Structure 1
Amino acid sequence: MTPADTRRRERLNVSASLLYLVKRTELAVRARLDELLKPAGITALQYTALTVLERHDGISAAQLARDSFVTAQSMADMVRALESRGLIHREPNPANRRERLILLAAPGRRLLAEYAEPARRLEESMVADLSPEQIATFREALNAAWRSLS
């Protein structure tokens, strides 16, 4: 990279909108997570859905879609793919016979356990240049921004 390229990148980082910076970071995280998960044969979006189920097992596909940041149609395709791999299973909702609840299956739990440490290291690398106080402030700021838009 030439000095002119470096200066241009620095100007972009200072002048870029926060929306741009958040999206750029999200895309970088997603690319790294996709690379990390490639041996498992799942995508970052599928991994996100599994982590949602790990925290909130037995939810509807609509709720899983909302919590995983995907459309209902995308979630329908994802549920079929994850179910065919045996990572999740569905069962009738006792409170609503027309609805099926999605649950994390044992192989899905094992996959999450296997990738917990690599995912933690990825997160650590993302904030490696920040102090513990900056990390806490960053986390609080992201949560506050999300609450403002929700």
Structure 2
Amino acid sequence: MSEITDRSSAETSPSEPDPPTMLYLIKQVELSIRARMDEVLRASGVTVLQYTALTVLRRRDGLSSAELARLSFVTAQAMGEMIATLERRGLLVRAENPDHGRRLSISLTSAGRTLLSTHDERIAALEGTMLADLATLEREELRDSLNRCRVALSKV
């Protein structure tokens, strides 16, 4: 028997478990990220979801509650509660938008920006740890692949 045949039969051996699915691996990465982000954010009293919403506002100031909910991966109802909590803490503010009638625009306060900046370095270090074993090209390919997966699922 040739080496190729031996290798091929060994690769399909019923005694070896199937490799984990991509969905399983992505979920495991997400759970690991969330656990470590919880550790980083614990002292400031914000949750990962609140932190996500604040970082979205840092990138795109003046969003409506519905837009912020969509970009932060939560329901509109959950976002309404989150906005109220973050506003009470002085991390964001709602103001009437003169261009959109009754729509309220949400913006970070200086306290919100300060909170984010206190965590920037540790969050960047977490991402660096996650990607440490990947070369620059692999990082770019991973980002591109994940973006394509995200777009594909947004069409479903």
TM-score bracket relative to the smaller structure: 0.7 to 0.9
Partner of 2:55 in structure 1? Answer: 51
Measured in 2, the distance between the counterparts of 1:70 and 1:20 equals: 21
| 1:68 paired residue among 56, 69, 72 | 72
Structure-to-structure mapping, 1:1-150, within 5 angstroms? 15-150=19-154
Q: Which has the higher helix share?
A: 1
Post-superposition offset of 1:50: 0.5
**Secondary structure at 2:79's aligned position in 1?**
helix
Measured in 2, the distance between the counterparts of 1:118 and 1:57 equals: 23
Post-superposition offset of 1:149: 1.5
Counterpart AA for 1:71: T
Counterpart AA for 2:96: P
Q: Which has the higher strand share?
A: 1
Q: How many residue pairs get matched?
A: 139
Measured in 1, the distance between the counterparts of 2:96 and 2:131 equals: 42
**Secondary structure at 2:138's aligned position in 1?**
helix
Give the structure with higher Rg (CA): 2
Identity percentage over the alignment?
47
**Secondary structure at 2:132's aligned position in 1?**
coil
Post-superposition offset of 1:129: 1.6
Structure 1 residue ranges (4+ consecutive) displaced by more than 6 angstroms after TM superposition: none
Counterpart AA for 1:103: S
Structure 1: gaps (5+ residues): 1-10
TM-score, normalised to structure 2's length?
A: 0.85
**Secondary structure at 1:91's aligned position in 2?**
strand
Structure 2: gaps (5+ residues): 1-15
Counterpart AA for 1:84: R
Counterpart AA for 2:90: G
Counterpart AA for 1:79: I
